[in-house]
Structure 1
Amino acid sequence: MIARIFGWLEQRIDAFPANQPTKPPATFWAFVYHYTRPFLPMLAASAALSATIALIEVSLFGFLGRLVDWLAQADQATFWSTHGWFLAGMSLLVLLILPTLKFLYEAIVHQGLVGNFTMATRWQAHRYVLRQSMEFFNDDFAGRVSTKVMQTAMSVREVVTKVTEVMLYVCIYFTGAVVLFASTDLRLSGPLLIWLVGYLLAMRYFIPRLGKISHIQSDARSVMTGRVVDSYTNIATVKMFAHAEREDRYAYESMRAFLDTVHTQMRLVTLLTVVLNWLNGALLFMVAATALWLWSIDAVTTGAIALSVGLVLRLQGMSHWIMWEMAGLFENVGIVQDGLETIARDRTVVDVPGAKALTVDKGEIVFDHISFNYGRDAEANRGSVIEDLSLRVAPGEKVGLVGRSGAGKSTLVGLLMRFYDLDSGRILIDGQDISQVQQDSLRAQIGMVTQDTSLLHRSVLDNILYGRPDAGEVEAIAAAKKAEAHEFIANLHDAHGRSGYEAHVGERGVKLSGGQRQRVAIARVLLKDAPILVLDEATSALDSEVEAAIQEQLVNLMEGKTVIAIAHRLSTIAAMDRLVIMDKGRIVEEGSHAELLRRGGLYAELWARQSGGFLAQDAAE
């Protein structure tokens, strides 16, 4: 029965809704409501139970006062016959009704809200952030972003539960106490109201300050986590340059800043606790003294003294809990405010309303007078990375992009993938403006191998199947063989005893050499078999023997596809149908390898300056 109740509550609300999340509002309460809305019925039920429990618990102190008066006045011979049924009813309340209500409350909170609320918020926030533009991720630590998503989800739940349940419980409990005191003697409620004024003044002073420092602390924690994760992610670079101590200092700065916020917070906490203890002591003294004085003038009974002192002792215990709950509320408010600044950002690259899927029949690519600058903050496009560039790649044509570092080659293919939106101009694929089609459909039609190959910290098989998830293991292995990767994959082993295609490659593929990562990436694109192929230094990490071994497969891969290839090793693209030479975001030359050498322009200069098959650095650059 209990297991059935638990299961029903756990499955009542789907923690992983399938619908695509929308941008959350950028204002605090609207942001909180955005993620709270599915849980409102359950929150209402828990709040109603919380209020009922508070009323019953306060009424028990009233019962205690009446019981003391009965015992002081009752005849033992007739006590049970006079009060038996009432005592039986109170026993039923204490032994059955109150525990049942508390069970239902705890079940709703712990089975229905604690896990699901946090996970549903985290799931939706993660899915929204995951679809942010490349610019969003380029401007922040991955560890910092992930920390904010994790922290904010939990803090949204804490804010809501504290406001709707804890505060409601406290208000009803305190209101009930005041009414109970006043019903005994109006003068007894005086000390309680004085204490409440002092309590509210203390909260008004301390709580906002705790909230403010919590906001600062949340950001400091995210920065600290981001810096530590950054060091771990780039551990090979750290060790290569023997900069462990430099990374120590880098982490120390953020840890020191975080610890400073902790010290400030703890000073406030200590002062708050001292003030609260003094207020509680004053309340106990005032209530006890008032009750004894009223008893001495026959204004109240002995039971009233028991009631008032007992309830005050209970409120003393609760006052610390209430203060910490309030401090926790404002701490979580600070975390949510900090988190929404990251999560509730507009996406800079979005699908237009009603965007259709891209269809590629031929594979023609047209760059039509495009201009682009990162950040879009150049004055009148001065210093643009790409400026008024036009280029047509015919269906099935193989075009090589050549130019010095910084000429805009990688930016051009990034714009083709629509990682960024243009400042002006259009990019067309088979006559379709890529800004008007679904981004996912665009990228599904383009296979890309980059110079900086990052693999997912999953199995080799999972990484290859990333190219086409609906393919089978047999097809993935066939692609690996074509990429000359099968032999080294078969000999892989990881720390958990997995081997071959099931071996995990480590974060960003660090367990593999650069050439091995590149071959897995090529296998992934071979499996994808998209009609448009982009090779951005695709063989740069391969030694000459392996490169020669897969050249034929790359030629086969390019067969029937529209290809844009970038390479500093000019020999790898000299056989392209056409070479496009870029310099400072513009096209300065076009033609075949032989034609460009005869012209004696920039390409001929670059060719003459290569060393070992690579472009030499321009001395004047």
Structure 2
Amino acid sequence: MFAFFERLVDPFPLERPKSPPAAFWPFVWHYCRPIWPLLAFMAVTSAAISIVEVSLFGFLGTIVDWLGGASRETFLAEEGWRLAFMGFVVLLALPGLVFLHSLISIQALFGNFPMRFRWSVHNWLLDQSLGFFQDEFAGRISTKLMQTALALRETVIKLVDVMLYVVVYFAGIVFLVAAADWQLALPFAGWLVLYVLMMRYFIPRLMVVAERQADARALMTGRVVDAYANIGTVKLFAHTQREADHARRSMGSFLATVYGQGRLITGYYVCLHLLNALLLFAVGALGIGLWLGELISIGAIAVAIGLVLRLHGMSQWIMWEVSALFENIGTIRDGIASFTMPVALEDAPDAEPLRVEKGEVRFENVGFAYGAAKPHRAAGPVVDGFDLTIAPGEKIGLVGRSGAGKSTLLNLLLRFYDVQSGAILIDGQDIRRVTQSSLRSQIGMVTQDTSLLHRTIGENILYGRPDASEEDVRHALRRAEAEGFVEELTDREGRSGLEAEVGERGVKLSGGQRQRIAIARVMLKDAPILLLDEATSALDSEVEAAIAENLYRLMEGKTVIAVAHRLSTIAALDRLVVLDKGRIVEEGPHSELLAKGGLYAQLWSRQVGGFLPEEADGAPEGLAAR
């Protein structure tokens, strides 16, 4: 039975998430729409429970009146059926309603609803552009995802369940008291007016503080995670105290919001107790006065006083529920700012998978400037009017000073950013008209800053081709000269070889080991277009020489674009393209460019590492040895 209710909400829907609306209530409804029947059923059972509970107070007053005037000898004979009915309500009907309500609220919604939100938003965030994540703390975004999911659940549950319960309950109270004498209902009406006014004062202020608190909490968590993720750098520069102070400032900001929230809650709490005391006094005094005038019975006074005491306890519960409600609303509002940002790069509506038959890459009059996307970059275009055609199977190297546009061209080819003018075509297909997943599946890339997933070595390599066999993985390791050190690895759990975990971002491995794992991953992927961005810069000369032959073999039959500051590693490629300020200033084979005595020759002559001086007249090391 429990399993049936637990399956009523699918926490991992298959459909792709849609862009959520930015306004608060539409945002909430966007994620509640698939489960509205369950929310409606929960509301009905909650209202039924409140009606039954209020009716018990009415029955209590009736019993008091019965006992005051009934005969002990005939009491059970006269009232037995009604007593039996109320016994059925107390022992079976009310527990049954509570059980049914719990099956919906706890089994069906409690875990599934926030998980469904996390799943949908996580999928939505994965579609965001690279720039989105470069502008945010990873810890901050993940914290917002987790706390917004819980805040959404609590907000919906409190609105649909708790608030409805309270409204129906209070309406029942007024109805019961007014049935005895309408005058006795006046203190309750006055209490309600003052209670609403009190909430109108405190709640908006609590909501503002809660929104600031949610943002401060996310910032605090982001800074702590940032320090942990870069602990090597922190210790290298002996800045543990500096990082502690950096985190302390965000913790202090968070604590300031807690203090502000506490002051408001204290004021709310004191005002509420004063209001409840006034209600108890007014109902007690008015009830006694009406009894003295023989206008109401003793049972009515018992009901009224009992309801006041019940309301006294409920109002404190309501206070905490309402303050929690608006704290959650503030958390959701804070999350909305991050989760409703439009995806900067989306597939075109009619996008089709990229088909690579030859591997020709063509840049046609490409222009691009980072602008607002990266305000720290220099103003103006990074590339402007850029034209370059790379023939199928051709291997070219991009050369130039830092900031010349080399990495930008690779990012544009991968469509991490969209060109602002011109077009990039692969086998005649504009990359803006194909799906991003198919584009990147046809391109292999090895970068200087290799980041591995916090998983096993085998899983990291299989990222290149998830359906590959273990033998394929080991073959890729051998080609990347990585099999030797992988077999010797053991993690803290005792797992070894391919089953050993590499740690967050691969911190358990050296830079050269991470690079060889990354190269093995790209070798396993075996895409027709290959990008190398300082691919061997983290390797020592001996290891670089060992895998250079395999890298060159990997290049065979592929279109290759390589970027390297160490020119000796790309000098033997078919063609070198020299960039300056986003434009091509020279191109040709290594020997021709040296003979021209231009920018390339200057860059070559200035390099004093990675090759011997006399290599300028001979074959350079590394890939040039081929």
TM range, normalised to the smaller chain?
A: over 0.9
Change in 2 beyond 3 A, CA 1:261/1:382: closer
2:211 paired residue number: 215
Q: Deviation at 1:315?
A: 0.7
Please name the residue that 2:552 is paired with.
555
Name the SS of the counterpart of 2:425 in structure 1: strand
Structure 1 residue 608: Cα displacement = 0.3
In 1, Cα distance between equivalents of 2:230 and 2:72: 82
Could you say which residue in structure 1 is the equivalent of 2:605? 608
Matching of residue 581 in structure 1 with residue 578 in structure 2: yes
Partner of 2:475: 478
Moved more, 368-377 or 537-546: 368-377
Q: Is 1:254 matched up with 2:250?
A: yes
User: Match for residue 424 of structure 1?
Assistant: 421
Aligned counterpart for 1:313 among listed residues 303, 309, 315: 309
Query: 1:611 offset after TM fit, Å?
Result: 1.4
Which residue is 1:520 aligned to? 517
CA distance in 1, matches of 2:576, 2:57: 90
Matched-pair contact (CA < 8 Å) for 1:531–1:561: yes
> How big is the shift at 1:474?
1.3
Per-residue Cα deviation, 1:277-304 (whole angstroms, up to 9, x for no partner): 1111111111111111111111111111
Shift of 1:615: 13
Quote how far apart the aligned CAs of 1:614 are. Answer: 7.7
Task: Map 1:73-152 to 2 at 5 A.
Answer: 73-152=69-148
Q: Find the partner of 1:304 among 300, 305, 324.
A: 300
Trace 1:152-191 onto structure 2 (pairs within 5 A): 152-191=148-187
8 A contact 1:211–1:330 mirrored in 2? yes
**Is 2:527 the counterpart of 1:530?**
yes
Where does 1:372-451 land on structure 2 (aligned, <5 Å)? 372-376=368-372, 383-451=380-448
Q: 1:440 to 1:507 in 2, by over 3 A?
A: same
2:410 aligned counterpart, secondary structure: helix
Q: Deviations over 1:93-123 (max 9, x none)?
A: 0000100000110111000111111000110
Q: Describe how 1:232-247 pairs up with structure 2 within 5 A.
A: 232-247=228-243
User: Secondary structure at the residue paired with 1:299?
Assistant: coil
1:264 partner letter:
G
Query: Of 491, 494, 497, which aligns to 1:494?
Result: 491
Letter in 1 for 2:559: T
User: 1:587-621: per-residue Cα shift (whole Å, max 9, x none)?
Assistant: 111011000001101100000000112899xxxxx
What is the SS of the residue equivalent to 2:156? helix
In structure 2, the residue matched to 1:454 is 451
Q: TM-score, length-normalised on structure 2? A: 0.96
2:327 counterpart (326, 331, 335): 331
Separation of aligned partners in 1, 2:29 and 2:379: 44
String of CA shifts for 1:378-419, please: whole Å, max 9, x gaps.
99x962122221111110000001111111111110110000
Q: Does 1:202 align with 2:198?
A: yes
Does the residue aligned with 2:530 lie in a helix, a strand or coil? strand
* C-alpha distance in structure 2 between counterparts of 1:152 and 1:320, whole Å: 25
Q: How far is 1:198 from its partner?
A: 1.2
Post-superposition offset of 1:372: 1.1
2:336 counterpart residue number: 340
Find the aligned partners of 1:557 and 1:322 in 2 and give their Cα distance. 68
The answer on whether the counterparts of 1:606 and 1:615 sit within 8 Å (CA) in structure 2 is no
For residues 517 and 272 of structure 1, the distance between their equivalents in structure 2, rounded to whole angstroms, comes to 57
8 Å CA contact 1:397, 1:561 repeated in 2: yes
| 2:9 and 2:109 in contact (8 A); partners too | no
Aligned equivalents of 1:615, 1:152: Cα separation in 2:
58
Which residue of the partner structure matches residue 565 of structure 1? 562
Residues 371 and 379, structure 2, Cα contact 8 Å, conserved in 1: no
User: What runs of 5+ residues in structure 1 fail to find an aligned partner?
Assistant: 617-621
CA contact (8 A) 1:445 1:532 kept: yes
Distance apart, 1:219 and its partner CA: 0.6
Q: TM-score, normalised by structure 1?
A: 0.97
Partner secondary structure for residue 285 of structure 2: helix
Task: Letter of the 2:491 partner, please give it.
Answer: D
Aligned-residue offset at 1:492: 0.7
Are 1:545 and 2:542 matched, yes or no? yes
Q: Is the 8 A contact 1:580 1:587 kept in 2?
A: yes
Deviation per CA, 1:58-104, whole angstroms, max 9, x where unpaired?
01000000000000101000010011110000000000010000011
Which amino acid in 1 is paired with 2:606?
A: R
Q: In the alignment, does 2:463 pair up with 1:466?
A: yes
Aligned mates of 1:581, 1:198 — CA distance in 2: 77
Helix, strand or coil at the partner of 2:537: coil
> Aligned partners of 1:448 and 1:461: how far apart in 2?
18
Q: Indicate which of 348, 352, 357 corresponds to 1:356.
A: 352
Query: Structure 2 counterpart of 1:399, which letter?
Result: I
* SS, match of residue 356 in structure 1: coil
Distance 1:342 1:442 in 2: 27
Quote how far apart the aligned CAs of 1:569 are. Answer: 1.2
Q: What is the Cα deviation at residue 246 of structure 1? A: 1.3
Q: Measure, in 2, the Cα distance between the counterparts of 1:99 and 1:237.
A: 59
Residue 20 (structure 1) aligned with residue 53 (structure 2): no
Paired residue secondary structure (1:530)? coil
Tell me the secondary structure at the aligned position of residue 63 of structure 1: helix
What is the percent sequence identity of the aligned residues?
60
Q: Which residue of 2 aligns with 1:619?
A: none
Change (3 A) 1:25 1:394: same
Q: Is the 8 A contact 2:22 2:340 kept in 1?
A: yes
Tell me: CA distance 1:35–1:377, structure 2 relative to 1, closer, same or farther (3 Å). Answer: closer
Shift of 1:376: 5.0
Q: Does 1:231 align with 2:227?
A: yes
Supply the distance in 2 between the matched residues of 1:604 and 1:584 (Cα, whole angstroms).
17
Q: Aligned partners of 2:558 and 2:520: how far apart in 1?
A: 16
Cα deviation for residue 375 of structure 1 reads 3.4
Residue among 266, 270, 289 paired with 1:270: 266
**1:10 paired residue number:** 6
Instruction: Note the 1:502-517 alignment, pairs <5 A.
Output: 502-517=499-514
**Contact 1:403-1:409 at 8 Å conserved across structures:** yes
Q: In structure 2, do the counterparts of structure 1 residues 614 and 205 end up closer, same or farther at CA, with 3 Å as the change threshold?
A: farther
1:376–1:423 Cα contact (<8 Å) kept: no
Please give the alpha-carbon distance, in whole angstroms, between the structure 2 residues aligned to 1:365 and 1:220: 47
Aligned length: 611
Q: Secondary structure at the match of 1:392?
A: strand
Contact 1:401-1:579 within 8 A present in 2 as well:
yes
Q: Deviations over 1:523-562 (max 9, x none)?
A: 0000000000000000000011111110110011000000
Runs of 4+ in structure 1 off by over 4 angstroms are 376-379
| 1:448-469 Cα deviation digits (max 9, x unpaired) | 0000000000000000000000
- The match for 1:192 is 188
8 Å CA contact 2:446, 2:519 repeated in 1: yes
Equivalent-residue separation in structure 2 for 1:111 and 1:277 (angstroms): 36
Distance 1:456 1:211 in 2: 38
Partner of 2:618: none
Distance 1:375 1:10 in 2: 49
SS of 2:422's equivalent in the other structure is strand
